Chains A and B, each alone.
Chain A
């Protein structure tokens, strides 16, 4: 099974558009939307709901006022400032249980709360797993791990050979959970200083975890000079640039119509480039899988 994750560092560079477009050119794959804070892939790829499950990933403390002796030990020992005036703040509580351990009166219980939902859709291009973390909830990394496990299981049970991951922005907890154990990261960037800055952070993260990474520059012609600078930075880092997607007004039209770009505009310049990138990425990840070499250039 091949696992490919699409990330960017900076948000809004076109990850979801890339994933939906590449999936359109593919069979035998499972899609996993790992941007669980702001899952948008299902807004592009519609499908029939197969399963829906609750995500209970977070413990929360509750204090029984009848048993509480008001000693304040829970407050003193909470590292997250989640208890004030002997009341638990649901947003700050990380569910660590320190308060329960120090309470001399046994007044504190920890319980699992539902903090999101996990869905499996059957799309025209294979099953898609995505999750909806309720606004303001924590533990997104754990939810990403569950989405990925479910996608791997589906690939196994449905006999599919590729898992394509739509990752979150950033380089923290959910991004790390999205790239752990993948065969290849495709970074989608844009020709701007911010795009470059965050791309370099993502490349550093990939190198830190020894995961092969390659890059595509989206809307490259919005600033050809900056695109060249980014490609040069990639070369210096020994990272392969696998494509340049032109600025294409069809992309916005397809997003507004909530459909994958190639399904509406199969001959559009951006769609054709995504097709080319997908073929390249797929064959590279297969090679990698076979030889165990990394994607770094010499």
Chain B
């Protein structure tokens, strides 16, 4: 089973819930931190990292001795990444998506595709878990290829810590999962972004359920939103300053609330019944 922990809004507790669940289950599994722009799960799970691997994306190189400046690559690039500067065509690294259209349209065979590193995938173990996390290079825009690489890892049980947002990186992380656990907070911000994330899950045909984090007890508005959307509320985690204090130093939810372990295991059993 592949279980994605996602949210839409940032800072609602995705990483806390994903890590606490992985630890509470206390069984062999694979944990994938796909928040490659701000990976934090390693701060909580403290894995022993054993190896790392660069992630490469296709990247055009132009042989200027063959290029006759016909401009076809400039004209066909949908991302504005090919620019003619004087007597040379230059590739704008940050705009290139690595699609290879420039190579396909070049009548002179002046374009070859090679690999350009955009980030790193770290691999290790934390207790019974296999652990993988991605790290986007500073100044690099493309996080999706790193997420794609991480998601190649398979296991009987995979828990994915997803990035915030509802566009490409979040979509790539959730896609193909058997279930998405959406962590929200009971505020207008949390609800607005939760609604968008439920839409994403629908588009991807991934069933989902909601965890209300930092609950002050009265969550009627979130609950009615979920009811209208036909999405179950699986768990409420009360607001507790102890949790914030434990988290500050890299402590997990379970350290502050040991009683949560059993509740999380029960929730996992429930998810097994709801999954695709």
Contacts and interface: CB of A to CB of B under 8 A. Distances in A.
Interface of A: 8-13, 16, 36-38, 40, 43, 59, 77, 79-80, 91, 94-98, 101-102, 110, 133, 135-141, 168-176, 191-194, 197-198, 201, 204-205, 208-209, 219, 222-223, 226, 252, 255-256, 258
A79 B100 contact: yes
A38 B196 contact: yes
B108 interface: no
A37 B138 contact: no
Nearest to A58: B78
Contact of B104 (A101, A168, A191, A205): A101
A171 B203 contact: no
Interface stretch (B149-157, B242-250, B258-266): B242-250
A193 B193 contact: no
Contacts of A141: 141
Interface string B184-214: 0101110011001101100110000000000
A10 B166 CA distance: 16
Contacts of A77: 100, 104
A141 to B, nearest CB: 6
Given A40-B9, A98-B99, A194-B43, 4 more contacts: A37-B8, A40-B192, A97-B101, A223-B245
Interface in B224-266: 241, 244-245, 247-250
Contact of B43 (A12, A95, A98, A197): A197
A9 B36 CA distance: 11
Contacts of A173: 141-143
B78 A95 contact: yes
Tell me the interface secondary structure of chain B in the complex. Answer: loop
Contacts of A43: 188-189, 192
Nearest to B194: A38
Closest 5 CB pairs of A and B: A11-B10, A12-B11, A96-B99, A170-B37, A223-B248
Contacts of A10: 10-11, 38, 40
A171 B37 contact: yes
B203 A91 contact: yes
B226 to A, nearest CB: 16
B140 interface: yes
For this complex, into which size category does the number of interface residues on chain B fall?
35 or more
Contacts of B9: 11-12, 38, 40
29 contacts: A9-B38, A11-B12, A37-B196, A38-B10, A38-B165, A38-B166, A38-B193, A38-B196, A79-B58, A91-B203, A94-B99, A95-B78, A96-B79, A96-B99, A133-B167, A135-B196, A135-B199, A136-B200, A139-B167, A141-B141, A169-B38, A172-B37, A173-B143, A192-B247, A201-B138, A208-B138, A208-B139, A255-B187, A255-B189
A102 B76 CA distance: 12
Given A171-B38, A197-B40, A252-B187, A96 B101 contact: yes
Contacts of B68: none
B76 A101 contact: yes
Interface in B153-189: 163-171, 175, 185, 187-189
B71 interface: no
A36 B175 CA distance: 20
B97 interface: yes
B110 interface: no
B11 A13 contact: yes
A13 B164 CA distance: 13
Given A79-B100, A172-B141, A173-B142, A197 B38 contact: yes
Contact of A226 (B138, B203, B249): B249
Nearest to A170: B37
Nearest to A94: B97
Contacts of B203: 91, 135-136
A136 B204 contact: yes
A176 B164 contact: no
Q: Which of B76, B189, B192 has the most CB of A within 10 A?
A: B189
Interface string B123-144: 0000000000000101111110
A38 B8 CA distance: 7
Nearest to A207: B138
A96 B39 CA distance: 29
B105 interface: yes
A192 B10 contact: no
A40 B166 contact: no
B46 to A, nearest CB: 11
A258 B8 CA distance: 19
Contact of A198 (B40, B168, B189): B40
Contact of A80 (B99, B105, B143, B192): B99
A102 B140 CA distance: 29
B114 interface: no
B52 interface: no
Interface in B43-88: 43, 58, 76, 78-79
